[in-house]
Amino acid sequence: MPTARTFVALTLPPAARASVVDLRRALPPAPRGLRWAAASQLHLTLAFLGDVDAGEGLAAVRAASRSAAAAHAPFDADLRGLGAFPHAGRARVVWVGWGAGAGAVTALHATLAHALARPADRRPFSPHVTLARARAPLDLRSWLASAPAWASPTWRVEALEVMTSELTREGAIHTLVERCPLAGGG
């Protein structure tokens, strides 16, 4: 049975993506070894599911995502600040943080995890959008400290998206499978 590399996400509207691109331009030159994420694919991952059966498995993910979305109302969001995982002294991932709406995103993540019947993550959920990755750990403390203060425009989060991802030599290609509107439940 074919499988699909699957995740559930909140994608960014064009104005927020453009703001992230503006932030990247305002940063000091990127340290060697840091690879930027494609602006067109910036998103917040609510659940990464890996390879899922493209038939019944993907249908179950779609149903769970619709259920989780139906339990939450749309909310306002913005992005702000920079950070790194696991920490700035040994960074593998550079991220922009979720500002307004972080509580709503965290609640949506928990509802989705329950609907997907996924075990709790070892690490607490930290709403963010990946900006760049490093193949080997980098010390980014001074680079991050020199970053300008920044926040994206505010937008309304109205849906979560079930996505598939195909890995290619040029990078991942994300494909929308289903857009699940946040329907109100609160």
Catalytic residues: 43, 128
Q: Write the single-letter amino acid at 17.
A: R
In degrees and rounded to multiples of 5, residue 86 shows phi and psi of -70, -25
Residue 18's identity, in one-letter code, is A
Instruction: Mention every residue, 6+ apart, whose C-beta is less than 8 A from residue 83.
Output: 94, 95, 97, 128, 144
- CB–CB of 113/68 below 8 Å? no
Paired strand residues for 179: 161
CA gap 135, 33 in Å, rounded: 7
H helix or E strand, kind and range, residue 123: none
C-alpha dihedral, 19 to 25 to 28 to 33, nearest 10°: 100
Q: DSSP state, 39? A: G
Amino acid at 112: L
Residue with token string 């990127």: 30
Residues across the chain = 186
